[in-house]
């Protein structure tokens, strides 16, 4: 591709050297990971042919992400992201080295394979939010969406190459060589991260600690109604769609009569279909909105599951999985893009971590559940049940629209510094903030409605309690109050208010009557003598 084609549009981020190097290294690293996963999934069919045991490999890889993604998101927002990523890559390399040694010596068992897959899942849990959160550091602001799309494309390039290459290596040289190739890919990623000339984190007097950042992330998640919609739709889609991923090794081996290389080819077809889907995505977005794309993904995925349940010829199965790849990348990019578009930078790592928790929780629960169903009714019937469930859920949830994500989340920095008589310790709290408005009677209903919308912004940005009161002697005097856990958290709250929030505050102020602005007061908890 010529340099001119990189100068704008979907491939513009690749013209920026840091992004291009890390993107290429990530593609190689993910390729190695898919090779490792193919080897592990296939080895499990040698060690145990039970559907539940095979599905446990999938579950062991996704369960840690469900359990640890939120703490990983907190670490993403408070640690040096470059050093953190290097440490995680070293952990993953050690896991694959152990797998390589055990496979070479013939000492790999069901419990060891599941345990090491679980450790690999821990590494993936720690890495996932961080890789996504560094994107704004690597490209210019106008290229962030294109960079996110390229990351999805890169994963699916790896998915198209890794499984097929892993299957061929596994069939020709054995599992030890396949795991060794994965180790080599991690070394390349570590080298690229060490080369990345990232500026050191500046000292910030308001830097968050782990537990405070954890609580702030959970508060934001609880208060963000648009995020709730994304999470619900993602959970239901992936819970049903996980059936095909959990049972695909058994479909390849038992229903289609394939070997390890054929299983790799099937997964490679999924990746190739995903690449094709990513390339046609711009045209699809011109004709369908996000809700239409997600419904289409559900329909195609359900049809694929139904077709596989009929045990088609191997060549036809490969073609069918091309469509699964296209549907999968469409669902992933649609849901991930919706999550990215509604998260401000200050909580991006934690918000994406919650999304990944839901995604992997749905995949984990689905894998375990579909494995149990497969034990009871067989693989064929399980695929049919999953397909019908996905279709029904897709049409029902189509009425619950995804957020448009068109609000301006850039910090407005329009709040003045709070007035203080003397310097306040950052850890002092809780803090009570009172804002006194004067609202005429005929504006009261509209004002209270706007203030209710503002309550969600207050809670997202740090408040743990919110309310509104009126003066018994003068009902036109209305006081909005909210609580923040510390003075430092309130100062952070000043920095978190977005331009969209500022516009909403402007609407509220339009209802305030009088020559002066609303009176804002800050009240600090007093430690009485003899108390801590």
For the chain, the structural domain boundaries read: 12-196+210-397, 431-524
Q: What is the pLDDT of residue 203?
A: 58
Given a cut of 90, is residue 168 above it in pLDDT?
Answer: no
Given a cut of 70, is residue 378 above it in pLDDT?
Answer: yes
Q: What is the pLDDT of residue 214?
A: 84
Q: What is the pLDDT of residue 227?
A: 92
User: In 465-478, which positions are buried (b, 16+ CB within 10 angstroms) versus exposed (e)?
Assistant: ebebeeeeeeeeeb
Structure tokens at 342: 């509604």
> Following DSSP, what letter does each residue of 444-511 receive, concatenated?
HHHHHHHHHHHHHHHHHHTEEEEEEEE-SS-TTEEEEEEEES-HHHHHHHHHH-BHHHHHHHHHHHHT
Q: What is the pLDDT of residue 201?
A: 60
State the residue for tokens 């095909």. Answer: 244
Higher-pLDDT residue of 207 and 469 is: 469
Structure tokens at 474: 């003068």
Cα→Cα distances 423→235, 419, 487, Å: 47, 10, 11
Of 44, 254, 278, 52, which is closest to residue 158 (Cα–Cα)?
278
The per-residue pLDDT for range 51-97, each reduced to its tens digit, is 666 677 767 777 787 778 788 888 887 777 888 899 999 999 999 99
User: Would you call 433 helix, strand, or coil by DSSP?
Assistant: strand
State the residue for tokens 């309550």. Answer: 455
Of 438, 468, 437, which is closest to residue 452 (Cα–Cα)?
468
Q: What's the mean pLDDT in 338-348?
A: 82
The per-residue pLDDT for range 203-258, each reduced to its tens digit, is 566 677 788 888 888 888 888 899 999 999 999 999 999 998 888 888 888 888 88
Of 118, 120, 100, which is closest to residue 108 (Cα–Cα)?
100
The per-residue pLDDT for range 98-127, each reduced to its tens digit, is 989 988 888 877 788 888 888 888 888 888
User: Rounded to the nearest 5°, which phi and psi values hold at 520?
Assistant: -115, 130
CB atoms within 10 A of CB 524: 16
CA distance 7 to 15: 7
Q: What's the mean pLDDT in 273-281?
A: 81
Structural contact between residues 198 and 137, judged by C-beta atoms closer than 8 angstroms: yes
Cα→Cα distances 405→219, 387, 501, Å: 20, 30, 14
Higher-pLDDT residue of 150 and 306 is: 306
Cα→Cα distances 57→9, 112, 234, 241, 248, Å: 39, 11, 22, 17, 12
Q: What is the pLDDT of residue 420?
A: 80
Q: What's the mean pLDDT in 443-466?
A: 89
User: Rounded to the nearest 5°, which phi and psi values hold at 7?
Assistant: -75, -15
| DSSP summary character for residue 514 | S
CA distance 170 to 176: 8
Q: Is the peptide bond before 73 cis (omega within 30 degrees of 0)?
A: no
Q: By percentage, how much of the chain surpasses pLDDT 70? A: 92
413: left (phi over 0), alpha (psi -120 to 50) or beta: left
Q: By percentage, how much of the chain surpasses pLDDT 90? A: 25
Q: What is the pLDDT of residue 438?
A: 92
* Model-wide pTM > 0.85: no
Name residues whose C-beta falls within 8 Å of residue 248's C-beta, 6 or more positions apart in sequence. Answer: 263, 266, 267
Cα→Cα distances 488→105, 114, 182, Å: 56, 44, 44
CATH topology match: 12-196+210-397 vs 431-524: no
Residue 3's pLDDT band, with cuts at 50, 70 and 90, is very low
Compute the mean pLDDT over every residue in the chain, rounded to the nearest whole number. 84
Residue 6's pLDDT band, with cuts at 50, 70 and 90, is very low
Q: What is the pLDDT of residue 7?
A: 45
Of 531, 522, 526, 521, which is closest to residue 428 (Cα–Cα)?
526
User: What sign does the CA torsion over 189, 194, 196, 200 have?
Assistant: positive
User: Would you call 520 helix, strand, or coil by DSSP?
Assistant: strand
Q: In the CATH hierarchy, which top-level class contains the domain 12-196+210-397?
A: mainly alpha
Of 279, 371, 262, 272, which is closest to residue 317 (Cα–Cα)?
262
Query: Can you list the positions of beta strands (E) in 187-268?
Result: none
Given a cut of 80, is residue 32 above it in pLDDT?
Answer: yes
Question: Is the CATH code 3.40.50.2300 the one for domain 431-524?
Answer: no
User: What sign does the CA torsion over 221, 222, 223, 229 have?
Assistant: positive
| DSSP summary character for residue 252 | I
Structural contact between residues 37 and 245, judged by C-beta atoms closer than 8 angstroms: no
CA distance 324 to 321: 5
Q: What is the pLDDT of residue 290?
A: 87
CB atoms within 10 A of CB 377: 12
């Amino acid at each position: 591709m010529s340099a001119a084609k990189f100068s704008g549009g979907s491939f513009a981020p690749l013209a920026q050297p840091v992004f291009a190097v890390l993107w290429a290294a990530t593609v190689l690293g993910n390729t190695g990971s898919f090779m490792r996963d193919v080897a592990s999934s296939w080895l499990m069919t040698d060690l145990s042919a039970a559907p539940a045991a095979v599905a446990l490999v999938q579950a062991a890889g996704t369960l840690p992400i469900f359990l640890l993604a939120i703490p990983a998101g907190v670490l993403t927002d408070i640690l040096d992201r470059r050093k953190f990523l290097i440490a995680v890559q070293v952990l993953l390399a050690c896991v694959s080295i152990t797998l390589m040694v055990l496979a070479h010596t013939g000492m790999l068992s069901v419990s060891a394979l599941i345990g090491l897959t679980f450790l690999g899942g821990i590494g993936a849990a720690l890495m996932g939010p961080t890789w996504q959160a560094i994107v704004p550091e690597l490209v210019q602001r106008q290229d962030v969406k294109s960079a996110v799309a390229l990351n999805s494309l890169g994963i699916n390039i790896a998915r198209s190459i890794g499984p097929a290459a892993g299957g061929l290596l596994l069939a020709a040289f054995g599992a030890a060589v396949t795991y060794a190739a994965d180790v080599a890919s991690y070394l390349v990623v570590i080298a690229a991260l060490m080369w990345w000339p990232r500026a050191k984190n500046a000292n910030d007097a308001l830097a968050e600690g782990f537990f405070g950042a954890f609580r702030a992330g959970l508060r934001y998640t609880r208060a963000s109604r648009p995020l709730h919609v994304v999470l619900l739709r993602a959970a239901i889609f992936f819970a049903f769609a996980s059936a095909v991923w959990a049972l695909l090794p058994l479909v390849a081996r038992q229903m289609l009569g394939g070997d390890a290389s054929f299983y790799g080819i099937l997964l490679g077809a999924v990746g190739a279909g995903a690449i094709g889907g990513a390339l046609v995505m711009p045209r699809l977005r011109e004709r369908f909105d996000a809700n239409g794309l997600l419904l289409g993904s559900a329909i195609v995925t359900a049809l694929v599951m139904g077709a596989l349940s009929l045990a088609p010829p191997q060549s036809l199965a490969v073609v069918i999985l091309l469509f699964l790849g296209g549907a999968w990348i469409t669902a992933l990019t649609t849901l991930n893009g919706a999550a990215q578009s509604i998260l401000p930078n200050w909580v991006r790592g934690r918000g994406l971590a919650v999304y990944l928790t839901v995604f992997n929780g749905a995949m984990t629960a689905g894998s375990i559940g579909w494995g149990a169903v497969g034990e009871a009714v067989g693989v064929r019937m399980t695929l049919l049940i999953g397909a019908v469930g996905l279709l029904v859920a897709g049409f029902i949830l189509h009425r619950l629209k995804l957020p448009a994500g068109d609000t301006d989340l850039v910090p407005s920095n329009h709040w003045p510094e709070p007035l203080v008589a003397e310097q306040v310790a950052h850890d002092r709290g809780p803090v009570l903030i009172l804002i006194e408005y004067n609202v005429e009677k005929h504006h009261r209903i509209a004002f209270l409605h706007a203030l209710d919308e503002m309550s969600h912004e207050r809670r997202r940005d740090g408040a743990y309690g919110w309310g509104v009161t009126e003066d018994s002697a003068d009902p036109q005097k209305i006081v909005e109050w909210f609580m923040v856990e510390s003075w430092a958290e309130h100062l952070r709250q000043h920095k978190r208010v977005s331009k969209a929030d500022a516009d909403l505050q402007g609407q509220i102020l339009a209802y305030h009557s009088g020559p002066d602005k609303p009176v804002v007061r800050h009240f600090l908890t007093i430690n009485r003598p003899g108390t801590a």
